[in-house]
């Protein structure tokens, strides 16, 4: 392949996007369309909601990859990170001598150029933290641009083109493209960055925690000395990574010696009240519909950045009161017969544990029923087999589905849902194994009662279990 064609020409009018239906690629496509570019795209599986969203933007999408999709000779081809070098459109692109780039390269050139990037990174909390910060800036009248990995309910969108000087970017540690195996966030030059924590994840990309830390180390090392990293203070991996770095460093979390400290937290449904300390004195009192200490810490990091940008504390507080949250993050999908169905993106053991801890105090009178689908490349591997049993303490009843994509994982590496259920039973938990979604629904129809919360956790669609439950409960 001719890597000399990995560049963005000038001028550009027409752009084709390979694997357009991913969250990031779909957002980028929409932003480029809004900017006046002619956009086409293709993907292996084209289905709602992204297919409908892109269609509403008048973006032509073709299902399936074929060299015919690029026969018109676009000025530029943007290659998604899931695309392999033997993809028919990649082969055709090379044969035609078309110029191409990765998604982060395109973001830098077309969207972030001339902006001050605010980059949020970390294994957990990126989407929520990015969303909070974007909303604070918007409510403060700073007209931000943002590109985030989840749908902000306040905007019903995961992107926005603003005229202000700042752009909020969710910085992903996943690889960039088949021709660039470095992390996506290495392409960005943050004026301020947030690091929420570092754990092992993405087992299809990283071989161990040291490999993960190498990616984050490269990111932090690349932050200019005049720019700032806001780093979580209660994570050993983070502490290791920030040691000796040249950028400005601001710590946040629970430790009294950190600049930003989370104070008291209390719950008065539907609100969570929390105090924030700066240099040991009260900075402000806030209330939010977000739940869980992990989200208060996410909020704390966004507050630290907002204060750095000279946003008044009163404006920050108003933002939290009006912040509606992110879809698929403790999102209530509906209530039927007194039974609440909640959707959450949690899949990593830490995220599962913290999500259960977060929602339980808000439903003190009913049972918390956890429904979990291992679906990510990490959760379908046995690397977390012995860790997951400790993540479900907060649940009264636990339903574990057999992973639907398990055949993609080598047999020796496969996660066992049945083993997880057995381990949970040994811990005295009411745990149940299910081979498919239909059997989970049948079980819940007979088992649940008024006052229960069904918390569905998966990073996928889970066979539309939420709506199906609400139709039969």
Cβ atoms of 37 and 63 within 8 Å: the answer is no
The pTM assigned to this predicted structure is: 0.90
- Model confidence pLDDT, tens digit, residues 201-214: 887 788 899 999 99
Helix ranges restricted to H, 417-459? 417-426, 437-447
Would you state the pLDDT for residue 47?
66
What is the predicted pLDDT for the residue at 53? 79
Q: Read off φ and ψ for residue 284, nearest 5 degrees.
A: -175, 160
Q: Does domain 112-322 have CATH number 3.40.50.1820?
A: no
Task: Count CB neighbours of 292 within 10 A.
Answer: 21
pLDDT at 408: 86
Classify domain 331-472 at the CATH superfamily level: Mur ligase, C-terminal domain (3.90.190.20)
The CATH classification number of 3-102 equals 3.40.50.720
How far is C-alpha 292 from the chain's CA centre? 17
User: Rounded to a whole number, what is the largest CA-CA distance in the chain?
Assistant: 65
pLDDT at 11: 95
Give the start-to-end residue ranges of the domains of the chain: 3-102, 112-322, 331-472
Give per-10-residue mean pLDDT for the chain (473 aa).
Answer: 94 97 91 96 80 85 95 97 95 97 96 96 94 98 94 91 97 92 93 95 85 95 96 94 95 95 93 97 97 94 98 98 91 94 92 93 92 91 94 96 89 94 97 96 96 93 92 92
Q: For the chain, what is the mean pLDDT?
A: 94
Contact 116, 226 (CB under 8 A): no
């Amino acid at each position: 392949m001719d890597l000399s064609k990995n560049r963005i020409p000038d001028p550009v009018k027409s752009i084709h996007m390979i694997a357009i239906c991913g969250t990031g690629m779909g957002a980028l496509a929409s932003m480029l369309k809004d900017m006046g570019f002619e956009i086409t795209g293709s993907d292996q599986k084209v289905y709602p909601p992204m297919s409908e969203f892109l269609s509403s933007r008048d973006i032509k999408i073709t299902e399936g990859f074929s060299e015919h999709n690029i026969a018109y000779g676009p000025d530029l081809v943007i290659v998604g990170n899931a695309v392999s070098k033997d993809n028919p459109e990649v082969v055709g692109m090379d044969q035609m001598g078309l110029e191409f780039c990765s998604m982060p390269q395109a973001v830098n050139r077309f969207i972030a150029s001339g902006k001050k990037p605010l980059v949020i990174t970390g294994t957990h909390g990126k989407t929520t933290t990015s969303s909070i910060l974007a909303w604070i800036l918007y409510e403060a009248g700073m007209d931000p641009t943002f590109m985030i990995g989840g749908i902000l309910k306040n905007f019903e969108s995961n992107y926005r083109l603003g005229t202000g000087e700042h752009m909020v970017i969710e910085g992903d540690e996943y690889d960039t493209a088949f021709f660039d195996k470095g992390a996506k966030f290495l392409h960005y030059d943050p004026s301020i960055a947030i690091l929420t924590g570092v754990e092992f994840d993405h087992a299809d990309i990283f071989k161990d925690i040291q490999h993960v830390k190498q990616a984050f180390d490269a990111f932090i090392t690349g932050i200019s000395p005049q720019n700032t990293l806001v780093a979580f203070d209660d994570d050993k991996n983070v502490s290791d990574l920030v040691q000796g770095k040249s950028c400005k460093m601001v710590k946040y979390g629970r430790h009294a010696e950190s600049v930003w400290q989370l104070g008291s937290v209390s719950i008065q449904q539907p609100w969570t009240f929390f105090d924030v300390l700066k240099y040991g004195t009260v900075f402000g009192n806030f209330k939010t519909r977000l739940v869980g200490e992990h989200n208060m810490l996410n909020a704390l990091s966004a507050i630290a950045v907002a204060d750095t940008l000279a946003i008044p504390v009163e404006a920050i507080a108003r933002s939290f009161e009006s912040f509606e949250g992110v879809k698929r993050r403790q999102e209530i999908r509906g209530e039927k017969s007194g039974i609440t169905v909640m959707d959450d993106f949690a899949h990593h053991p830490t995220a599962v544990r913290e999500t259960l801890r977060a929602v339980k105090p808000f439903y003190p009178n009913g049972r918390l029923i956890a429904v979990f689908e291992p679906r990510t490349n990490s959760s379908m591997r046995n690397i977390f087999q012995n860790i997951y049993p400790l993540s479900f303490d907060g649940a009264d009843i636990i339903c574990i589905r057999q992973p639907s994509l398990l055949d993609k994982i080598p047999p020796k590496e496969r996660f066992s849902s049945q083993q997880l259920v057995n381990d949970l039973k040994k811990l005295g938990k009411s745990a149940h194994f299910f081979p498919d979604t239909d059997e989970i629904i049948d079980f819940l129809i007979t088992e649940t009662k008024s006052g229960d919360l069904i918390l569905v956790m998966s990073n996928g669609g889970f066979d539309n279990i939420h709506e199906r439950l609400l139709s039969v409960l």
